[in-house]
């Protein structure tokens, strides 16, 4: 009889310093036989929806979390029953798992090296200490490299000494951990109002989330009390929560300046129609965004200060010698800004294909975390909603963002005569710490010149 063992798969670190994910759906059930790398679940991080592949080949023994649960990195989410012989080899996938034989005999588990991060199929697991249990990594800041694991001893609750002098009694600070306090700040919750259910009254993440939701029964009662159900309450989480935090940080960190320019883009629209009928672009999706994106890349080559970031920790201005072009995309889960890597080296044909793939992937919610990070400058196409202009907020870590307005027919002076032309408004927001008014204005003027007369590119490259 072939011996079997139970292997636990713990939620891995999906990158970018994220500490938790929500299980959107399970693709397997208890008793199912799964193959190595078979997709077993779909999870949502603060940035994207990710498919989790199985690190083992075997049978699903247990699902430790239900769909909809928010799970911290390093916690077990599923157990597999695997062959004892095959289990030794399959651990190359790495899951921070624990093993025991199914017949009750203890299986040998290799000793865990202290502070070791175990590799897995989709990233790196939590830091593991001698006990074999994962330790959550503390959030990193600008002064610490993003991918460097920082191990910090777990702080134990400290009993505060009794006051030695008679004074007005002060309200004791609620006992909680830094991640829980941050969660409370993000949700706008006063921890003084939250009752802790953890050891010695420690306020846990569940306590804060429960307070925010009011519990299931309270939520139903609140909804029933609203006449006609005129309110709908949606928890702030996932992509929406991350976007909100990023926009607040950007708006109150970088001094924004926005400039506007309205351009006669009739020649660009005529060029677009010619390209659509060209055999070279057969099967490709061409839009005003395609041409505008290429124009941004050309103008950026002549004005590189807009392709930079402010490094507060090192007090340096970092200018990028490549362009990862971000494209703001409205998705059912909220706004995301995936970027096209090394877009500056692409032809118009390659850029068209990359834009189509990027937007399709974003709208389906399948954008990977790596595609959502590392952007250097962004475009938001508000024209598709019929909007002419706006004041876009910078994507954190970038110096500029361009908003493309709707293309409209309007009266315009052309060749000293009034004519009906196709016009577009361009809105450029930039970080005034990095970009002077002259530099921003020159970039915007050259971008407008390209769209007003694409032949002008000959004089710019």
Q: What is the dihedral of CA 264, 270, 273, 274, to 10 degrees?
A: -140
Distance of CA 91 to the CA centre of its chain: 29
Residue 432 near residue 243, CB atoms below 8 Å: no
Q: Which pair of tokens denotes residue 102?
A: 């199914």
Residue 233 near residue 221, CB atoms below 8 Å: no
Residue 382 near residue 390, CB atoms below 8 Å: yes
Contacts 24+ apart (CB under 8 A), 28-36: 28/54, 28/60, 28/63, 28/78, 29/60, 29/63, 30/60, 30/61, 30/62, 30/63, 31/59, 31/60, 32/59, 32/60, 33/58, 33/59, 33/60, 34/58, 34/59, 34/60, 34/80, 36/90, 36/93
Residue 363 near residue 301, CB atoms below 8 Å: no
Q: Are strands 325-327 and 339-340 parallel, antiparallel or unpaired?
A: antiparallel
Q: Which residues are catalytic?
A: 432
**Residues 395, 369, 328, CA angle at the centre, nearest 5°?**
35
Give the other-Cβ count within 10 Å of 450's Cβ.
Answer: 23
Residue 450 near residue 271, CB atoms below 8 Å: no
């Amino acid at each position: 009889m072939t011996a079997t063992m139970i292997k636990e798969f713990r939620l891995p670190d999906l990158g970018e310093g994220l500490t938790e994910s929500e299980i959107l759906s399970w693709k397997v059930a208890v008793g199912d036989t799964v193959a190595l790398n078979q997709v077993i679940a779909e999870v949502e991080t603060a940035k994207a929806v990710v498919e989790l592949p199985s690190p083992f080949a075997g049978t699903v023994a247990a699902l430790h979390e239900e769909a909809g649960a928010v799970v911290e990195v390093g916690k077990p989410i599923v157990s597999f029953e695997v062959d004892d012989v095959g289990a030794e080899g399959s651990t190359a996938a790495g899951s921070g798992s624990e093993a025991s034989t199914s017949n009750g005999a203890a299986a040998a588990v290799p000793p865990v090296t202290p502070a070791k991060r175990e590799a897995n199929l989709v990233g790196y697991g939590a830091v593991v200490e001698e006990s074999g249990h994962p330790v959550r990594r503390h959030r990193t800041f600008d002064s610490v490299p993003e991918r460097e694991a920082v191990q910090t001893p777990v702080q134990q609750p400290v009993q505060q000494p009794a006051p030695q002098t008679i004074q007005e009694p002060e309200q004791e600070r609620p006992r909680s951990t830094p991640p829980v306090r941050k969660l409370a700040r993000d949700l706008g919750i006063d921890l003084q109002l939250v009752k802790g259910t953890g050891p010695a009254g420690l306020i846990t993440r569940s306590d804060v989330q429960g307070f925010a939701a009011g519990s299931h029964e309270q939520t139903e009662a609140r909804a029933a009390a609203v006449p006609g159900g005129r309110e709908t309450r949606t928890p702030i989480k996932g992509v929406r929560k991350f976007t909100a935090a990023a926009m607040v940080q950007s708006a109150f960190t970088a001094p924004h300046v926005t400039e506007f320019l309205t351009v006669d883009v009739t020649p660009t629209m005529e060029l677009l129609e010619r390209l659509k009928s060209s055999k070279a672009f057969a099967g490709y999706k061409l839009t005003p965004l395609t041409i505008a994106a290429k124009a941004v890349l050309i103008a950026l080559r002549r004005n590189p200060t807009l392709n930079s970031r402010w490094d507060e920790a090192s007090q340096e201005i970092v200018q990028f010698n490549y362009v990862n072009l971000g494209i703001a995309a409205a998705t059912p889960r909220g706004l995301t800004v995936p970027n096209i890597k090394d877009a500056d080296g692409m032809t118009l044909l390659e850029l068209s294909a990359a834009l189509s793939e990027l937007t399709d992937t974003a709208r389906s919610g399948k954008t990977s975390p790596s595609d959502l990070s590392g952007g250097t400058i962004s475009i938001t196409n508000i024209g598709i909603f019929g909007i002419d202009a706006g004041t876009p907020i910078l994507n954190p870590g970038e110096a500029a963002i361009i908003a493309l307005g709707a293309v409209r027919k309007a009266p315009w002076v052309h060749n000293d005569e009034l004519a009906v032309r196709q016009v577009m408004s361009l809105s450029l927001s930039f970080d005034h710490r990095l970009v002077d008014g002259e530099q921003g204005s020159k970039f915007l003027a050259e971008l407008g010149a390209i769209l007003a007369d694409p032949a002008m590119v000959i004089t710019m490259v």
